[in-house]
Chain A
Amino acid sequence: MFYLLLEMKILEENAGALTNFEVLDFLRAKGASKDPSRVLAKVAMSEYKVYDYLVKTPAGSQTRESVKEYFTVIKQHDLSEAEIIEDCEERFPDEEVTEIVEKVGNTLPAPPDKATPEEITKGDEETETQKHDEISYDQTEDGEQMDTS
Chain B
Amino acid sequence: MFYLSKIEHKFALPPHLLARPIREAIQSELERLFLDKVIQKLGLCISVYDITSIEGGSIFPGAGAPTYQVVFNLIMFRPFPGEIISAKVMSLDADGVRLSLGFFEDIYIPTHHMPYPSYYISKNNTRKWTWEYGEETDEFNIEISNEVIRFQVLSVSYPTIPVEQAKESKPFAPMVVNGSLYHEGLGPVSWWQ
Contacts and interface: CB of A to CB of B under 8 A. Distances in A.
Interface of A: 1-3, 5-20, 22-23, 26-27, 30, 44, 46-47, 49-50, 52-53, 57, 82, 84, 119-121, 123, 125, 127, 129, 131, 146, 148-149
Interface stretch (B80-88, B127-135, B157-165, B168-176): B80-88
B9 interface: yes
B35 A46 contact: yes
B183 A47 contact: no
B139 to A, nearest CB: 17
B115 to A, nearest CB: 13
A119 B192 contact: yes
B166 interface: no
A20 B2 contact: yes
Contacts, number: 123
B7 interface: yes
Contacts of B18: none
5 contacts: A5-B12, A7-B9, A26-B47, A44-B31, A127-B184
Given A7-B10, A15-B6, A23-B2, A121 B185 contact: yes
B150 to A, nearest CB: 9
Given A1-B62, A6-B11, A23-B2, 19 more contacts: A3-B60, A5-B63, A9-B8, A12-B6, A13-B41, A15-B5, A15-B73, A17-B2, A22-B2, A27-B47, A46-B36, A46-B103, A50-B46, A119-B185, A121-B192, A123-B184, A131-B1, A131-B83, A148-B83
Nearest to B191: A121
A120 B73 CA distance: 35
A26 B71 contact: no
B49 interface: yes
A123 B186 CA distance: 13
Nearest to B86: A57
Contacts of B192: 119, 121
Contact of A11 (B6, B12, B36): B6
B91 interface: no
Interface in B60-100: 60, 62-63, 67, 71, 73, 75, 77, 80-86
Given A5-B11, A7-B10, A119 B193 contact: yes
Interface in B1-55: 1-12, 31, 35-36, 39, 41-42, 46-47, 49
A107 to B, nearest CB: 20
B184 A50 contact: no
Contacts of A15: 3-6, 73
A136 to B, nearest CB: 9
A148 B41 CA distance: 18
Contact of A8 (B7, B36, B83): B7
